[in-house]
Amino acid sequence: MLKVIRRKSILKEAVDEFRKSNLSIGLVPTMGALHKGHISLIEMSNMHYDVTIATIFVNPTQFNNTEDLAKYPRNEETDIALLSKTGCRVVFIPSVDEIYANPPLITLNFGYLEHIMEGKHRSGHFNGVGLVVAKLLGIARPDGAYFGQKDLQQFRIISRLVSDLDIPVQLHLAPIVREENGLAMSSRNERLTAEQRQLAGNLYKSLSLSSDLLFSGVPQQEVKLAVYDFFKALDGVDLEYFEIVDFETLENIPSLNEGDQLALCLAAYVAGVRLIDNLVIEL
């Protein structure tokens, strides 16, 4: 039976009970408007841990754009109905006041990681992500937590948060679940028409194209130009960035070698909706 909990104090009591019964806990933080990508995280957590706690919280401190926050899809009822079919034991759905009753004085700075890609284009975003994930880990005290590769930079940020602060939790990175046309599943896709979703399939197409070019030995700068040209020729999609980076550090690699693990990362706007995606390859 899925239990819906809205208060920190009640969640802490539920966690105490699980701990007393020696049950291991997996945490799946989300912002709701759940789709198959989220559900895959819940299923992985169910396999590894005795109980899964999902959280649904549209975290205002990680939005650098008020319109994006206002337009973020919210489907609480359908989310709860979906989760109740997954075997998830608890869903924590706090209000903004419940989480930020005492507005944090602390600011998190992730060094070079917040001056590249998402950090560069969304000022303050990772401070908000770091704060809320630290809070959720503190409240739910899970043994493990699941995050999607779609937000690869977020995963690297959270990994540093956990290792820099010695937070005792095992982090798991889950593969990207995609639509048939390659479009990475995202709550933001709900804001697109069927036609725009088709168009958004080009994000994955451009990643596949860049992967093919890199495998055939085309130099990075030329691959980047090819991706920028691909989007220039495409009406209705505006590329914000495309980067070829090291999968672990997310830094640019000056010269590539066989065996290098790369992440090809991009952000683009389709009909005013900002989407991100990436593809991980090994040369």
How far is 208 from 213, CA to CA, in rounded Å? 9
Question: What is the sign of the dihedral through the CA atoms of 134, 139, 145 and 151?
Answer: negative
**Closest-CA residue to 132 (of 42, 31, 3, 10):** 31
| DSSP SS3 for 179 | coil
List the x/- string, 227-266, binding to ligand AMP by CB under 6 A. Answer: ----------------------------------------
**31 contributes a contact to ligand AMP by CB under 6 A:** yes
Q: How far is the CB of 141 from ligand AMP (least distance, A)?
A: 19
Can 115 be counted among the known catalytic residues? no
Give the residue with the Cβ less far from ligand AMP, 84 or 260. 84
Q: Which residues pair with 261 in a beta bridge?
A: 282
Interface size with ligand AMP, residues (CB under 6 A)? 17
How much helix, strand and coil, in percent to the nearest 5, is found in the chain? Answer: 45, 20, 35
User: Where does residue 186 rank: exposed (0-12), middle (13-18), buried (19+ CB within 10 A)?
Assistant: buried
Q: Which is nearer to ligand AMP, 153 or 210 (CB)?
A: 153
Within residues 130-169, the interface with ligand AMP by CB under 6 A covers: 147-148, 150-151
CB of 125 to ligand AMP, least distance (A): 12
Q: Which of 52, 186, 206, 220 binds ligand AMP (CB under 6 A)?
A: 186
Name the nearest CA neighbour of 231 among 251, 207, 263, 211.
207
Q: Would you name the residues annotated as active-site residues?
A: 38
Residues of this chain that interact with ligand AMP (CB under 6 A) are 30-31, 37-38, 40-41, 147-148, 150-151, 174, 176-177, 184-187
